[in-house]
């Protein structure tokens, strides 16, 4: 994001009348790169864990990555703007709140969309054999254990008999 901001500042100073187009293009480029990374992440996760119930929590990973990217890039952009006046940056508080939130949201949404697509690409070619759940082999009768947790199992009402 810092690189995108540096390119944005330089390009806007060269082509002042195209500031909106430059900004939108660079934000879309950033989102596309994050989306591609999310696809790769989702595919590798789906290959490592064929059972969707056993996959990593990539949503939290990408949320933290977005927050980190937003805070660090906002702070670095503010610091660079102290020496490089062509880079537009607001005050430190603005960079660490508004800009960081925008970067975090953009990163999170693009990456999670990519992860979902990556999971889907792998899952659509997966075989339809029953998966193992809770240590039981495919075809084992696990209804006996359902009575013990029927009051806490949110899916007990919709499970097939």
Q: Could you tell me if residue 158 is inside a domain?
A: no
Q: Could you tell me if residue 94 is inside a domain?
A: yes
d(C-alpha 43, C-alpha 47), whole Å: 6
Per-residue model confidence (pLDDT) at position 148:
53
Per-residue model confidence (pLDDT) at position 110:
96
Q: Could you tell me if residue 109 is inside a domain?
A: yes
Nearest CA-CA partner of 71 in 109, 27, 102, 38: 102
- What's the predicted TM-score (pTM) here? 0.73
Contact 95, 89 (CB under 8 A): yes
How many other CB atoms are found less than 10 A from the CB of residue 93? 10
Domains contained in the chain, number: 1
Divide the 161 residues of the chain into consecutive groups of 10 and give the mean pLDDT of each group: 90 91 95 96 88 81 93 93 84 90 95 93 72 51 51 60 58
Alpha carbon dihedral 79, 83, 87, 88, in 10-degree steps, equals 70
Determine the structural domain holding residue 108 and report its residue range: 2-125
Q: Could you tell me if residue 59 is inside a domain?
A: yes
Q: Could you tell me if residue 141 is inside a domain?
A: no
d(C-alpha 113, C-alpha 40), whole Å: 11
């Amino acid at each position: 994001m810092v690189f995108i901001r540096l390119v944005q500042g330089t390009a806007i100073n060269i082509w002042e009348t195209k500031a909106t187009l430059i900004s939108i293009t660079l934000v879309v480029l950033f989102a596309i790169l994050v989306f591609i990374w999310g696809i790769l992440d989702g595919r590798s996760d789906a290959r490592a864990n064929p059972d969707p119930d056993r996959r990593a929590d990539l949503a939290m990973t990408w949320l933290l990555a977005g927050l980190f990217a937003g805070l660090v890039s906002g702070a670095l952009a503010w610091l660079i703007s102290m020496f490089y006046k062509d880079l537009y940056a607001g005050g430190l508080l603005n960079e660490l709140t508004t800009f960081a939130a925008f970067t975090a949201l953009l990163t999170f949404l693009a990456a999670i969309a990519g992860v979902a697509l990556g999971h889907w690409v792998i899952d659509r070619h997966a075989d339809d054999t029953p998966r193992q759940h809770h240590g039981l082999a495919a075809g084992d009768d696990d209804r006996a254990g359902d009575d013990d947790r029927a009051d806490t199992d949110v899916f007990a009402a919709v499970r097939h008999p």
